[in-house]
Amino acid sequence: MKKVAVIGGGASGMSAAIHAKREDPDAEVTIYEHGDALGRKLLITGNGKCNLTNAGISQECYHSRTDNGIISHILSRFGTGKLLDFFDGLGADLKERKGCYYPRTDTASTIRNCLVLTIKEMGIGIRLECGRTSLEELCSDHDAVILCMGGKTSPKTGSDGSGYALLQSLGLSMVPLFPALTPIETEEDLSALKGVRCEAGLSLLVDGEIRAVSKGELQPFDRGLSGILAMDISGEAARQKSAGKNVQVLCDFAPFYPEEEFRAAIAKKQKQNPARGISDVLSGMLHRKLVHYLLHDLDSREPDFMEKFTDTIKRHPFTVSGRMIQDYSRAQTVSGGLDLREVTKELEIKKLPGVYVCGELLDCDGICGGYNLHWAFATGAIAGKASVSRRKGEG
């Protein structure tokens, strides 16, 4: 009888355990979780609604510095359809909103409960509060060990970075870690914009060159820019900042108008309301707090006012702060991790046959929209199946 140990009972760990047991029902599969419950992080995902996959899953939605084809290989074997079938089989009813999939109940605990119920029904062992596990001991006692310890965001849910430390101690190549899917911290104090929600376009400028663009609803906060559009380019902002580059974000506060149309719209509104000053005209188009913030330093009597005015609204520069490089407090995932060239297509460590790595521990991070949970479930599925298919001593 095969014996498999799964370290970490989060998204990837539960998927790995279920897929291993399904592949070989006779196998003895045990999850070692150092927290007091399985899947704690799942409960806080998607604002408590758990956005667990996306209709548009594809390799382009993931970032990795070391991908050698593994990401597309994993996604081709476990795409959106496979994930939907998997959760259907667990008894979860899902629904789709703008390409994102959620439990029908809009409650993340539905997903966790279906996973945990299945794990118990299948007779998978659960060791909660397992304390420090020794990889050496687990390896000598098991045919395969699957490392699913997650990243280092929201450490109160159990993902405290100990998985990275373990991989590092094994002498494996690691890609430096940065917070990703996190608000972008700026040098500018944006407390005057608190409460504003507006449509915007962001361009990430690295040493003067545009590296990434995003569009959507912006939510400024006192120390920077939040909202999905900011989070999607935050990993790249942190990586470039840490490389000592000059990193700026140019914000287009009127992305719904190309520049010429924007000028024409202003001119038309001025003509319709000749008694109004420019800030009152603009207040009919943009949030009033935003108008005050943007026009603060401009003098409408200056000859180049209109140019400066267009610039400040269509290309408003913010300087990315170095603070965001190590601030994981608001991040949803980690960029970096185990170099993907260290593992086979079955996610087995080449130098340590029988040891597999899944989820956030790997150098692969997705954009917002269910891509990171999908990666966790997909890698768990591949490694779980492979773990019971190998023969001891193989590799």
Ligand X SMILES: Cc1cc2nc3c(=O)[nH]c(=O)nc-3n(C[C@H](O)[C@H](O)[C@H](O)COP(=O)(O)OP(=O)(O)OC[C@H]3O[C@@H](n4cnc5c(N)ncnc54)[C@H](O)[C@@H]3O)c2cc1C
- Residues engaged in binding ligand X (CB under 6 A): 7-13, 32-35, 40-41, 44-46, 50-51, 130, 133, 148-150, 153-154, 158-160, 162-163, 332-333, 359-360, 370-373, 376
Nearest residue (CB) to ligand X, 49 versus 263: 49
Q: Report the residue count for the chain.
A: 395
Render 116-185 in DSSP notation, one character per residue: HHHHHHTT-EEETT--SPPHHHHHHH-SEEEE----SSSGGGT--SHHHHHHHHTT--EEEEEEES-PEE
Query: Any idea which residue has 């997909």 for tokens?
Result: 378
Element (H, E) at 33: none
CB of 391 to ligand X, least distance (A): 27
Q: How far is CA 70 from CA 155, 341, 382, in A?
A: 28, 9, 11
Nearest residue (CB) to ligand X, 205 versus 229: 229
Nearest residue (CB) to ligand X, 163 versus 235: 163
Q: How far is CA 309 from CA 96, 169, 295, 296, 318, in A?
A: 41, 55, 7, 11, 16
Name which of 317, 362, 370, 373 is nearest 340 in CA terms. Answer: 362
Nearest residue (CB) to ligand X, 240 versus 332: 332
Nearest residue (CB) to ligand X, 137 versus 187: 137
Q: How far apart are CA 266 and CA 187, in angstroms?
A: 30
Render 375-393 in DSSP notation, one character per residue: HHHHHHHHHHHHHHHSPTT
DSSP-derived letter for residue 292 is H
CB of 270 to ligand X, least distance (A): 44
CB of 69 to ligand X, least distance (A): 21
CB of 162 to ligand X, least distance (A): 4
Backbone angles phi, psi at 198, to 5 degrees: -150, 155
Question: What are the DSSP E strand ranges found in the chain?
Answer: 3-7, 28-32, 53-54, 62-63, 94-97, 100-103, 125-127, 144-147, 174-180, 184-185, 198-206, 209-221, 224-226, 247-252, 316-319, 333-338, 355-357, 365-366
What dihedral do alpha carbons 48, 383, 38, 176 form, nearest 10°?
-70
Both tokens of residue 123? Answer: 């007779």
CB of 273 to ligand X, least distance (A): 44
For the chain, counts of helices (H) and of strands (E): 12, 18
CB of 145 to ligand X, least distance (A): 11
Nearest residue (CB) to ligand X, 2 versus 41: 41
Nearest residue (CB) to ligand X, 59 versus 203: 59
Name which of 133, 129, 107 is nearest 49 in CA terms. Answer: 107
CB of 231 to ligand X, least distance (A): 10
Nearest residue (CB) to ligand X, 10 versus 336: 10
CB of 263 to ligand X, least distance (A): 39
Nearest residue (CB) to ligand X, 312 versus 332: 332
Nearest residue (CB) to ligand X, 248 versus 372: 372
CB of 358 to ligand X, least distance (A): 6
Instruction: Using alpha carbons only, give the angle 125, 346, 150 rounded to the nearest 5 degrees.
Output: 55
CB of 13 to ligand X, least distance (A): 6
